[in-house]
Amino acid sequence: MFVELERDQQRRYRTCQISRHCGWDTTTGNPGHLSERPLLLIVDASARVTVLTPKFKGTRARLLPIPSDVKWVEWAEDEIPYGQLSDIEGTVFVDGNIRHFTVDGLRIVFPNATVSAAPPEIKQLRERKSEGELELLKSIRQTHKQMHIGMRESDARNLIARALADAGLKDENAALPYGSGTDRRFHLDEFALFDCTASLHGYWSDVTRTLALPASTIPDTHIQIWNFAHSAQHIAFGTAHAGVVAKRVDEASRLFLGLAGYAEYFTHRLGHGIGLEVHEDPYLNGGSEVILQTGHTFSDEPGVYIEGKIGVRLEDCFYIAQNGSAVYLTARVGGPALSPWKP
């Protein structure tokens, strides 16, 4: 297991300390994919961990990367899931990803408990990564691509299907920031956009490249847009350091693209937190008052999207190091793109 046990224990005990201060007795979250069948990870006031799992998924649930001693509680399809748990009283904090029917079920089965959303202090525990977590995030950020002119978007997706969620968007299809393309062929005068995600031991990577294939002849105006996005990414990275307010990082990138005449085409936030989820708190957007701290991890992904013409996005994730500076998680596997032909 790559994430150290000591760190996991410290985080659980810290969860208990914060939660008791906030009047908490139990906290619960969803350690897997959302489903109509509740799969819950529960931490009590003594930092003991219980996993409530559907019985038929019991074996698979035990494969979850939970570096702790765990009590496993299984429920059959004809049983009320929450009824298999020991009696719960006091205050129960639930993670923000918990679905309403789970909250309702806990309230019905445990009427003497108060079920409410976890406070920000709990959420912040996972926002700052340990050295072990950062090493894991660094290790999953290399993807190899073999593409050529005339290849279809679907062919390119299949080449790296194990490592990415969405891939193979080009030019006007790339102008839809997270769209799914129409399976057109790559042309000589077009960029290809790849948004690549992969997971290892429960931790996620997220890298986007807008690139030109070796034989491409890209119009100068499109190269210029690529260069603007590239500069905007580096300006944001240079702005990020411990102590700066998150919205200032977004503003720096957005201001540059505005001066270049492309502010209206940068239609999403600059970045998101990343770790146990691809998108998690904190975020780099114009409304975020979060102060960057050591261990925070973010994506840095400015984009220019002109529908029907071109879309460019460059994304690398970075973390705030012990000395307060920003360091790219892709640094040891090539770092940010150098040019459309050197992604």
Question: Which runs of consecutive H residues, i.e. helices, occur in 84-198?
Answer: 100-109, 120-127, 131-138, 153-159, 171-174
Query: What is the Cβ-side half-sphere exposure of residue 80, based on CA atoms within 13 angstroms?
Result: 12
Q: Is pLDDT at 118 greater than 90 in this prediction?
A: no
| Model confidence pLDDT, tens digit, residues 200-226 | 777 888 889 999 988 889 999 999 999
Q: Where are the domains of the chain?
A: 5-126, 131-333
Q: What pLDDT score does 169 carry? A: 46
Pick the CATH number of 131-333 from 3.40.430.10, 3.90.230.10, 3.30.420.310, 2.160.10.10: 3.90.230.10
Q: Which residues of 62-81 are buried (b: 16+ CB within 10 A; e: fewer)?
A: eeeebeeebeebbbeeeeeb
Q: What is the pLDDT of residue 59?
A: 84
In angstroms, what CA-CA distances link 28 with 38, 93, 98, 199? 11, 6, 8, 23
Instruction: Give pLDDT tens digits for 249-282.
Output: 999 999 999 999 999 999 999 999 999 888 999 9
Structure confidence at residue 171 (pLDDT): 56
User: What is the distance between the alpha carbons of residues 214 and 251, in angstroms, rounded to a whole number?
Assistant: 34
> Binning pLDDT at 50, 70 and 90, where does residue 182 land?
low
Q: Is the pLDDT at 167 greater than 50, yes or no?
A: no
Return the higher-pLDDT residue of 158 and 125: 125
pLDDT digits (tens, 9 = 90+) for 278-320: 899 999 999 999 999 999 999 999 999 998 899 999 999 999 9
Q: Cα-flanking dihedrals φ and ψ of residue 272, to 5°? A: -135, 160
The alpha-helical segments, DSSP class H, found in 199-294 are 220-239, 246-259
What distances in angstroms separate CA 118 from CA 12, 41, 115, 204, 278, one per listed residue? Answer: 14, 14, 9, 23, 20
Q: Which residues, at least 6 apart from 39, have a Cβ–Cβ distance to it below 8 Å?
A: 30, 31, 32, 51, 52, 53, 54, 57, 61
DSSP-derived pairing of the beta strands 90-94 and 26-29? parallel
Supply the pTM of this predicted model. Answer: 0.70
Give the Å distances, CA to CA, from 181 to 19, 193, 276, 314: 45, 10, 28, 18
More reliable by pLDDT, 21 or 283: 283
Read off the tokens for 325: 């500076």
Residue 259 in 3-state DSSP? helix
149: number of Cβ within 10 Å: 13
Q: Class of the 5-126 domain?
A: alpha beta
